[in-house]
Chain A
Amino acid sequence: MTESTLLTWIIFLPLLGIPVVLLLPAAQKKAIRWAATIFSGLALLLGIQMLLQFDPSIAGMQMQHHLVWIRSFSIEYFVGVDGLSVLLIFLTVLISFIATIASWSIEKYLRGYFALLLLLETGMLGTFCSLDMFLFYVFWEVMLLPMYFLIGIWGGPRKEYAAIKFFLYTLFGSVLMLLAVIALYYNSSPATLVDGTPTLHTFNIVKLITENDFATKAPLLGIQFSHLIFILLFIGFAIKIPMVPFHTWLPDAHVEAPTPISVILAGILLKMGGYGILRFNFGILPEATQWAAPGMALFGAISIVYGAFVCLAQKDLKKMIAYSSVSHMGFVLLGISAFTAQGIVGGVFQMFTHGLISPMLFLIAGVIYDRAHHREIEGFGGLAYQMPEYTGLTGLAFMASLGLPALCGFISEFLVFVGAFPTYRLLTIFSALAVIITAAYYLWAMQRMFLGKLNEKYAGLPDLTWRERITLYPLAALIVIIGIFPGPALNLVNKTLMTLLAVFKG
């Protein structure tokens, strides 16, 4: 157990940027952009520092910062990082930074935009770092507000509808989660706060995992306690992932959101579902997890195949990418519910690799939209002659997403298949079908947009600008590097996940 205020700094640095952004005069657009970029960049630097300090040989929490917040209700400020969250925290600071740079093209109400973006970053980081259920819930909800406004004010033509749909859907899931959190609290065994105060119950996630067994609690509403809590939590997280049939908010939100927000939504927000399931459902309710695992795998497989088929039918590039997220996040569910080493590592790694690939895809969709002001796949053709650099990067991202070996998407999907096969043979074979469909829709889109005869309307399109390069190349580099040397990254998550898995083996 190591103590450090590093995580606290990472979480609240973006928040410190908000007054700076708001106090700058509205006309100073450049200064506002720079201010936001600097604060988000500082968070990224600290995130890298966190990655370097992280000790992969420890299974438990590291860099903890632990203070009492509300003594009378045993609520604490408790943050820490372990193998489950380390990659996701790094991903958050990285993608947020890239999204901030991608946001330089925003022209409307700049101060409000960047203030909300920074607030969103704090919310996301806090969610991944929190080790107190109450704190987790607060951060989880804090993310909703900025997201609602970012989609609703800066979004596309149907922004109002998309924003409120996102808001209501997620809130529906999270209020159920709130009931579960309170029920867990009142059924937890006595504990002590960090300063030694004894308490009757606890919100401390580490204590809930290690010192409590909820399998034997008195039933609630006539349903076995742990199963009911599992379901309440799971619905909240499944909406975020999003798992079919709770996915319908996602295409709307993605299509209407401005590019940087899509990037964050796909890159980070979807991961909170998977993270939450592993941290809460798996950690606190192992018995119920075992009970629900076949169902999770089934819904995972359905998401994978259904998402892929829907992609095939899409005419809008961004919508296609959005549905591909449904398909790819299905792998997370399938992988983790297999209770094998490869499966769970693959599932977590899939979150990380999808967090690199899908932001790149959305940036790519943004590039073409900025130039042509539409995203109809059929509306282009022969762009390869006009924008070779762009075409190359798109090809890389498409290939990574469809799971071409030597790119990072392959590693995680492969691990998931290998891990899931022993447990769920039929479902795995069924899901493997989706790989072919995935290849089909990406290649077909590639062909329609970039090959063939150049559409004369777009003969004058310029290739990538420097700002777009800054956002795309780091992601491309990471996708290739991790695709070839996945070892160090896998090493980070391994120890914690094996400890988590050990509960299910016994």
Chain B
Amino acid sequence: MALAQLSLLYPLLALAAGVIAVLLAGMGQSADPRRRSLFVALLFLAAAALLDLLFPGDGAISDLLQFDAFSRFFLWLAMIATALVLILATQSAELAHRRFPEFAALLLTICTGITLMAAARNLLMAYLAMEMVSYASYILTGFKRANLFSHEAALKYVIFGGVASGVMLFGISLLYGLTGSTAFSAIAGALAPGGPVLAAGRTGLFAAVIALIMILTGLCFKTAAVPFHMWSPDVYQGAPTPFTGFLSVAPKAAGFALMLRFFSALLPQAGPELRTLVLILLGLISALTMTLGNLTAIHQTNIKRLLAYSSIAHAGYMMMGVALIDQIGAGAVLLYLGIYLVMNLGAFAVVQIVADKLGTEEIAEYKGLGYRAPLLGFVLSVYLFSLAGLPPLAGFIGKFFLFAALIHNSGFWYLVLALVGILNSVVGLFYYTRIMREMYMRSSEEAPSWRVALAPLLVVLAVPVFFLGLYWVPLQDWALAAVQALH
């Protein structure tokens, strides 16, 4: 690696330095190091952002990492999510004040891992980055030491994650055996129609498909897509709420980033049979993920579980765009991810505030919230209606461009997928309005309104939900510029 290439890593180095700095800042006798650690963490995030602006990464580091507009999009996504969740976590009653520095350090680690996942152009690098994200996630899930649910969730997460990544690693080794490389470009070349793998006829095709399915297992695990979604409701429920919010957006986004880069490199060149098989697989996963997520969400009584299933459904929607393997589809996915980040984090912020105040996550306890705490009720309605995809909120724009991408392609099965997706969004509305019903249509005896500590953060998250619903061009341009790097 030439020294000149070091500038590509500046933001990542800043983040890694941040991990150490936050831990150092947390040392000492102070019983409440939250303020200090938050300040240091935000400082290093800002430094990473500044370094990225000053030295916009554009180049490759051997055949391991590719820094471009695409990876930078996800760097920013991860940094924004990290900053918001850190602020949220300082107010969380679930986290011991003393342990906040650890929390922040682990979150920054995940942030680094996400960027590496988005930049990876080699399966081994991708695997390492994914494990970096996963390990830190396991710890953060079990972060509530005194809570049994938290332990159970962490254990389930570790076991499930271990199996999924094991399968993925096996797939990678299969693919290595077939193609002689772990670099995306070399694999793509080997899987091309004239390449050595498909030249072996049916056997080669079969082996390649098996290997790709195994790799997809790991990716579906990260994005919580069916059939590897089972961990998410338990983990979402058990993990400390601010981290649940983070988990529902940032690692999921990283999973999509890796999926997009991997398949965009592979499929356009791959043999037609192989390509069709993988596309069918992606389409099926998408349809199943959103349908299962939505239908299961209907019956949930715990709001974190409901949001867990809802975020499974959203992974299904985004999968529609992935299944297109074109720029329009990928652009729509990135746009959706950006919008999804604010609206889902917003919803979890409200969940955290309510849970800390009332000590419950049951939807029935949201009874009359709209009158007890008007601001909370209002912003939660905004986030949920946005998740449901109603205009003029940003969630609608996200869905609109996903469907537009499918209809633009206008292949028979893509239209069927669009139909499945659009009917799913009606189901989605049904369970989101269940919360609305509790908040506004059922009153509670308790009258006094609350003081909400995080009110500014809630408003900061609600503004883009409105704004992006009316003028989304900047985010869309950014997303489109990012996916141009892929093709």
- Complex partner residue of A179 from B392, B407, B441, CB under 8 angstroms: B407
* Chain A residues within an 8 Å CB radius of B477: 72
Is B418 part of the contact surface with A, judged by Cβ < 8 Å? yes
Contact B422 A178 (CB under 8 A): yes
Is B408 part of the contact surface with A, judged by Cβ < 8 Å? yes
* Chain A residues within an 8 Å CB radius of B441: 152-153, 159-160, 163
- Complex partner residue of A183 from B400, B407, B425, B440, CB under 8 angstroms: B407
Known: A175-B422, A176-B422. A220 touches B391 (CB 8 A): no
Known: A179-B407, A186-B407. A141 touches B385 (CB 8 A): no
Contact B430 A168 (CB under 8 A): yes
Q: Separation in Å of the B271 CB from the closest CB of chain A?
A: 27
Is B60 part of the contact surface with A, judged by Cβ < 8 Å? no
Q: Separation in Å of the B290 CB from the closest CB of chain A?
A: 13
* Chain A residues within an 8 Å CB radius of B429: 167-168, 171
* Chain B residues within an 8 Å CB radius of A183: 407, 410
Using a CB-CB cutoff of 8 Å, which residues 127-175 of chain A contact chain B? 137-138, 141-142, 144-145, 148-149, 152-153, 159-160, 163-164, 167-168, 171-172, 175
Is A19 part of the contact surface with B, judged by Cβ < 8 Å? no
* Chain A residues within an 8 Å CB radius of B410: 183, 186, 218, 220
Using a CB-CB cutoff of 8 Å, which residues 159-187 of chain B contact chain A? none
Is A70 part of the contact surface with B, judged by Cβ < 8 Å? yes
Is A182 part of the contact surface with B, judged by Cβ < 8 Å? yes
Is A488 part of the contact surface with B, judged by Cβ < 8 Å? no
Contact B426 A175 (CB under 8 A): yes
Contact A182 B403 (CB under 8 A): yes
Contact B422 A70 (CB under 8 A): no
Is B80 part of the contact surface with A, judged by Cβ < 8 Å? no
In this complex, what residue of A is CB-closest to B438?
Answer: A160
Using a CB-CB cutoff of 8 Å, which residues 370-396 of chain B contact chain A? 371, 385, 390-392, 396
Known: A167-B433, A168-B430, A182-B404. A141 touches B423 (CB 8 A): no
Q: Is the interface of B mostly helix, strand, loop or mixed?
A: helix
- A190 to B403, alpha carbons, bound, how many Å? 21
Known: A172-B426, A179-B403, A186-B410. A152 touches B391 (CB 8 A): no
* Chain A residues within an 8 Å CB radius of B425: 175
- A164 to B434, alpha carbons, bound, how many Å? 9
- A179 to B403, alpha carbons, bound, how many Å? 7
Is B310 part of the contact surface with A, judged by Cβ < 8 Å? no
Interface hub of A138, A145, A178 (most chain B Cβ within 10 A): A178
Using a CB-CB cutoff of 8 Å, which residues 308-334 of chain A contact chain B? none
Using a CB-CB cutoff of 8 Å, which residues 207-236 of chain A contact chain B? 218, 220-222
In this complex, what residue of A is CB-closest to B405?
Answer: A182
Binary interface encoding of chain B residues 439-480 relative to chain A, with 1 for a CB under 8 A from any of its CBs, else 0 = 011000000000000000000000000000001110011000
* Chain A residues within an 8 Å CB radius of B371: 109
Contact A70 B473 (CB under 8 A): yes
In this complex, what residue of B is CB-closest to A72?
Answer: B473
- A340 to B407, alpha carbons, bound, how many Å? 36
* Chain B residues within an 8 Å CB radius of A160: 437, 441
In this complex, what residue of B is CB-closest to A186?
Answer: B408
* Chain B residues within an 8 Å CB radius of A159: 441
- A179 to B414, alpha carbons, bound, how many Å? 12
- A109 to B377, alpha carbons, bound, how many Å? 14
Contact B415 A220 (CB under 8 A): yes
Is B419 part of the contact surface with A, judged by Cβ < 8 Å? yes
Interchain residue pairs with CB less than 8 A apart (18): A70-B473, A71-B473, A142-B391, A148-B433, A152-B436, A153-B440, A163-B441, A167-B429, A171-B426, A175-B422, A175-B425, A175-B426, A179-B407, A179-B422, A182-B404, A186-B407, A186-B408, A221-B416
Further contacts, 13 of them, CB under 8 A, given A152-B436, A163-B441, A185-B404? A72-B473, A138-B392, A142-B391, A145-B385, A148-B436, A164-B437, A167-B429, A168-B429, A172-B423, A172-B426, A175-B426, A178-B400, A186-B404
